[in-house]
Amino acid sequence: MSVLNSRIPKFYKKSIEERLNIVKEYTELSSEECNLLLKFGNLDPKIADAMIENVVGGMSYPFAIAVNFKINYKDYLVPMVIEESSVVAAASNAAKVMRRDGGIHSHATDSIMIGQIQLVNVRNPFYAKHLILEYREELLKIANEQDPILVNLGGGAKDIEVRVVDSRIGPMVVTHLIVDVKDAMGANAVNTMVEALGPVIEDLTRGKVYLRIISNLADKRLVRSYVKVYKEDIGSEEVVDGVVAASAFAEADPYRAATHNKGIMNGVIAVALATGQDHRALEAGAHAYAARFGRYTSLSRWEKDGDGNLIGTLEMPMAVGIIGGAVKVHPIAKIALKILGVKTAKELAEIMGAVGLAQNFAALRALATEGIQKGHMKLHARNIAIMAGAEGELIDMIANRMIEEGRIRFDRAKELLEEYIKSRDLSI
């Protein structure tokens, strides 16, 4: 192992193996570990190497299917990729009690994204705003010239909005380009358009344009999902009251809202990963939207109707695409979309809103009743048993013993495994 010098010129130009050898030289990685890194699983190394820079290997996550989902009267098998145990089981369980009356109802708006252009150094910002708005038609025309394919599909730049934003370095004139990106997530289309408009706005206003970039606060591209959960399907009205109280807690307290929304994102991001979405954009959009009134709050609401049943609603941005980006290059993302059978980005957004709502319900129901540790512990104990080498029926036997004893540890799993194997040998 040599002394690390992280200044490695032309690292990006080397092959995957060459890069990994350099890493090996500087670290304590063994040959077995390097070989493991070089297992790209279902992603062709050439594709991986073209997707991002400085690739030295691959990392696989489990790909699972959440069952029982009925959304807008239609059944779906929902692919989920996630590292956290219990999420897929929780989603499937929640979806099971959400199948009546057509299931979860979900509606996404059109795929409208916002691109921002930041203009500074203008003496009269309100006059600049006026000028930009007066030039609206020309600006839209220039924007649309950047993406004739999108325009042919009925999408493209549709409107211009201008805001004067006060900042600590003075007022800024912020132009919003409103673009219908149709079935794409839209970052590429929007960024190309706003970059093209930058110099035009500078010429027009004699100011200085700096940033030209999409906004992830996609508040014109929302999904709204709602569901009725019948009290008898979830035990009793007490459970309903518990979920309503949990919801009120998240509405009122940002500390709780962050965790409440994390539960929603467990579902949303798992589908996003499976289908190759920009999940950071979704996270950013969700949390910014949750804070849009100046105080962070929950994205969903749970109320009780006149018959004592639970009504859940969720509203959040959902900027997802079924063309372009990783969706185009990752073969598993394509398979995930095929499993879902979605034909439009709008339909995918509707599914993801529904999954977020179901995931949220699962968490609140568990939290308001037995707590989440019981379910988590079971899975955790099973994982530990598997890691210790247990197979078949021994997995559950060892997991259950460790739970009973309150000692869910690797060393205990090993001991139990040996015990069981010995007693089995003796009984043969």
Cβ atoms of 333 and 47 within 8 Å: the answer is no
Tell me the site size for ligand MEV, rule CB under 6 A.
Answer: 10
Helix axes 254-274, 237-252, angle to 10 degrees: 100
Comparison of 55 and 290: residue with beta carbon closer to ligand MEV: 290
55 or 363: CB nearest ligand MEV: 363
Give the per-residue contact string, 147-186, with ligand MEV (x = CB under 6 A; - = no): ----------------------------------------
Q: Nearer to ligand MEV by C-beta: 98 or 140?
A: 98
DSSP 304-358: E-TTS-EEEEEEEE----SBSHHHHH-HHHHHHHHHHT--SHHHHHHHHHHHHHH
Distance linking the first and last C-alpha atoms of the chain: 50
Query: Binding ligand MEV by CB under 6 A: which of 92, 146, 266, 298?
Result: 266
Q: Which residues have CB under 8 Å from 35's CB, separation 6+? A: none
- Residues, the chain: 428
For residue 265, the minimal CB distance to ligand MEV (Å) is: 9
Q: Which stretch binds ligand MEV (CB under 6 A): 35-43, 152-160, 209-217, 362-370?
A: 362-370
According to CB under 6 A, which residues from 50 to 89 bind ligand MEV?
84
Q: Which is nearer to ligand MEV, 135 or 361 (CB)?
A: 361
> Which range, of 157-165, 176-184, 288-296, 359-367, touches ligand MEV by CB under 6 A?
359-367
Reading the block at residue 334, the tokens are 């394509």
Window 272-301: residues binding ligand MEV (CB under 6 A): none
What minimum distance in Å lies between the beta carbon of 364 and ligand MEV? Answer: 6
Contact flag: residue 363 with ligand MEV (CB under 6 A): yes
> Which residue's C-beta sits nearest to ligand MEV?
263
Task: Take residue 46 and report the two structure tokens written for it.
Answer: 């050439």
**Choice between 135 and 249, CB closer to ligand MEV:** 249
Rounded to the nearest whole angstrom, what is the least distance from the CB of residue 363 to ligand MEV in the complex? 4
> Of 16, 342, 22, 364, nearest to 183 (Cα)?
342
Tell whether residue 407 is a contact of ligand MEV (CB under 6 A): no
Q: Are 326 and 276 in contact (CB under 8 A)?
A: yes
Helix/strand/coil for 302: strand
Site for ligand MEV in 225-264 (CB under 6 A): 259-260, 262-263
Which residues on neighbouring strands pair with residue 160, listed in sequence order? 177
Structural tokens at position 383: 């994982």
Looking at the Cβ atoms of 44 and 251, the one nearer to ligand MEV is 251
The least distance separating ligand MEV from the CB of residue 203, rounded to whole angstroms, comes to: 51
Q: How many CA atoms lie within 13 A of 127 on its CB side?
A: 8
**Pick from 372, 379, 397, 403: which binds ligand MEV (CB under 6 A)?**
372
Considering only the stretches 211-219, 344-352, 360-368, 380-388, report the one whose residues sit in contact with ligand MEV under the rule CB under 6 A.
360-368
Considering the complex, what minimum distance in angstroms separates the CB of residue 266 from ligand MEV? 5
Token pair for residue 331?
A: 């073969």
Of residues 109 and 383, the one with the C-beta less far from ligand MEV: 383
**Structure tokens, 53:** 């820079």
Active site residues: 84, 262, 278, 376
Q: How far is the CB of 372 from ligand MEV (least distance, A)?
A: 5
Question: Could you give the 3-state DSSP secondary structure of residue 66?
Answer: strand
For CA atoms 49, 53, 56, 57, give the dihedral sign. Answer: negative
Taking CB under 6 A as the criterion, the residue among 367, 379, 386, 397 binding ligand MEV is 367
Q: Which is nearer to ligand MEV, 24 or 262 (CB)?
A: 262
Determine the Cα–Cα distance for residues 200 and 247; give it in Å rounded to an integer: 48
- Provide the minimum distance between the beta carbon of 6 and ligand MEV in the complex, in angstroms, as a whole number: 34
DSSP string, 166-201: --TT--EEEEEEEEE-TTB--HHHHHHHHHHHHHHH
- What is the chain's alpha carbon radius of gyration, rounded to the nearest angstrom? 26
Task: Name the minimum Å distance from CB 355 to ligand MEV.
Answer: 14
Q: Is the dihedral of CA 137, 138, 143, 146 positive or negative?
A: positive
What are the residues binding ligand MEV (CB under 6 A)?
Answer: 84, 259-260, 262-263, 266, 363-364, 367, 372
